Amino acid sequence: MPVQFSEKSRARFEWLLTRYPTRQAALLPTLRLAEEEFGSIGLEEMKYVAGLIGVSPAHVLGVVSFYTHYRRPEHGKYILQVCSTLPCALRGCERITDHLKKKLGIKVGETTKDKRFTLKKVECLAACDRAPMMQVNDQDHYDLTPEKVDRILDGLP
Amino acid sequence: MALEPLLLKHRNTPGSAALEFYLAQGGYEAAKKAIRDFAPDKLIEEVKASGLRGRGGAGFPCGMKWSFVPKSNDKPKYLAVNADESEPGTFKDRILIEQLPHLLLEGILICCWAVQIKTAYIYIRGEFTEGAKILQKAIDEAYAKGYFGKNALGSGLDVDVTLHRGAGAYICGEETGLLTSLEGNRGYPKLKPPFPATHGLFRCPTVVNNVETLSNLPFIVNRGAAWFKTIGTEKSPGGKLFCVCGHVKKPDTYEVPLGTPFKELLALAGGVLDDRPLKAVVPGGSSAPVLTADEAMKVNMDFDSLAAAKTMLGSGGVIVMHDGTCMVDALYNLLRFYHHESCGQCTPCREGTGWIEKILHRLEHGQGRTEDFSLLMDICDNMQGKTICVLADAAVLPTRSFVTKFRAEFEYHVKQRKCLVARDA
Ligand SMILES: Cc1cc2nc3c(=O)[nH]c(=O)nc-3n(C[C@H](O)[C@H](O)[C@H](O)COP(=O)(O)O)c2cc1C
Ligand code: SF4
Ligand code: FES
């Protein structure tokens, strides 16, 4: 099936264009829209978005690869983003990463064979008061302990 | 010094993000007052008179920044709200966005009226998914009431506001990186001058202000510049949100007058975790030079006192470290961050942050050499002030201060090939 926006996303895209004086400024939000619609952003999706915006696919690739928060095809169903910056490190985030590595049998940056989990270390997510913390897809989880991590993972559909 | 909580008054009140709640507290009266009682120029003067300084990191006087925007209307003017909150140790804007989004929107209206701006963008970091939802709902509510859009709040000025989600990159918190990103690019910073006030978004005059800065405006308009100046110090008026984290018993955001002694802030946060001795404090987000315990216990938390202590207030992120912290490891963590977040445009920054990270890695892992200290300082000399934006400096400042102030600990790593402190957890 060719990569294409639904009616609804198309309308949303047209609305986005009205919010900016240039088409290109709508690129980041349009990528978000593509992420929602297609589940992740791969080369086909990038080409499609490039066509919509009127920039080269290379520009879109450059943009997508610059940022860390877009969902890519190689990612698992759940992206476990463990914050590892100093304030979280002072509160023991290393223990959380170690626990996840052991539990999932993967290294940081890897995805489980069943493509259920991708483990990532990320930088400060502005929740250092509730460290250690991680973001699982769009959901933040705070004050983590290995036991709490187990419960969170076990509770995922 | 006690302060009537303003920004955090409704902290954790259920429903505080809703428009009805905000209106019941007298919400949007300040924006109405601004439009009714202040000609734009007069409003800029009022904000100047309040002495309000930017809460995003640089502490630049807000009213003065606005006054740099050309008065003529031959080009569109923009407001870019910095809601990127990415400086490690900072988590205050998140609270304002999630709990009082209408206060920010009202601040935006006040700024737009003062500078006669018709288009505002709120650049929110990509990871704030919940915050983006709450803020979008608030924007929709405000539009439905006619606070934004054509003839916003009956002012005669059309004001549009658009929420723009980032996608994960620290450098987009730097104002020119933010603007480049907003235009649909990698978030590459640009050389200043020209400044955004004249050549900003789409090469047009642009105000960039932090969420907390803007959230102060409704109070200043309602109660007056003179009232604002009664809080805080002469040169750092007002209250400030301090994010206290790391080794404290009650990590949280605290609203206190600028100039509050660090000692008091630490007490508010419950003191040092496990009642251990304090070792070091990074007082203004990870880019600020570190203070030893002695220095920290003597310093007041305002722009000038911290500058006098050769560090900075920055974003108000206060990272507390107790005696169980290995300073080599802590600095290594920070440099790993700066290396990862360098946008790569400037060689001194791209390579320098990588080299420092590498040297710290070997120091931390017992393979350091005595020459490494002079090598580190050499690299710092070649980075500071030699790049497009100040991310390079933001990596140099912690490096220099950690290595200088905790030299003995770094040397121990070289000589004994291990940590001076027993590692816990
Ligand atoms: C590397 C770097 C990162 C920054 N990150 C942020 C940030 O996350 N949020 C913010 O408001 N300002 C940040 N700033 C400061 C902005 O460049 C700018 O000074 C600020 O948004 C201006 O608003 P204000 O005057 O209201 O503080 C950063 C600066 C640098 C150099
Ligand atoms: S100093 Fe670093 S982050 Fe800033 S523009 Fe240069 S390479 Fe990019
Ligand atoms: S360091 Fe982890 S949330 Fe800030």
CA nearest to B339 within chain A: A123
Report the DSSP pairing between strands A134-136 and B206-210.
unpaired
- Chain A residues in contact with B170 by the CB 8 A cut-off are 123
Question: What pLDDT sits at residue B67?
Answer: 98
Query: Is any ligand 1 atom within 6 A of the Cβ of residue B57?
Result: yes
Portion of chain A with pLDDT greater than 90, in percent:
99
Q: Report CA(B384)–ligand 2 centroid distance (Å).
A: 11
Cβ-proximal residues to B73 (8 Å cutoff; 6+ apart), any chain? B116
Cross-chain Cβ contact A84/B341 below 8 Å? no
Question: What pLDDT sits at residue B2?
Answer: 56
For residue A64, give how far its alpha carbon lies from the nearest alpha carbon of chain B (Å): 8
Note if the pTM is more than 0.90.
yes
ipTM beyond cut 0.95: yes
| Nearest ligand atom owner, CA of B166 | 1
- Chain B residues in contact with A54 by the CB 8 A cut-off are none
Question: What pLDDT sits at residue A1?
Answer: 62
For residue B86, give how far its alpha carbon lies from the nearest alpha carbon of chain A (Å): 7
Question: What pLDDT sits at residue B425?
Answer: 40
Query: Is any ligand 2 atom within 6 A of the Cβ of residue B350?
Result: yes
Q: Report CA(A92)–ligand 1 centroid distance (Å).
A: 28
Q: Name the average pLDDT for chain A.
A: 97
Portion of chain A with pLDDT greater than 70, in percent:
99
Question: What pLDDT sits at residue A60?
Answer: 98
Question: Which of helix, strand or coil describes residue A128?
Answer: helix
> What's the whole-number mean pLDDT along residues A37-52?
97
Q: Report CA(B379)–ligand 3 centroid distance (Å).
A: 27
Question: What pLDDT sits at residue B73?
Answer: 84
Q: Name the average pLDDT for chain B.
A: 96
Nearest CA to ligand 1 atom 29: B174
What would the pLDDT profile of A97-131 be if each residue is shown by its tens digit?
999 999 999 999 999 999 999 999 999 999 999 99
What would the pLDDT profile of A134-151 be if each residue is shown by its tens digit?
999 999 999 999 999 999
pLDDT band at A2 (very low <50, low <70, confident <90, very high): confident
The parts of chain B modelled with pLDDT lower than 50 are: 1, 425
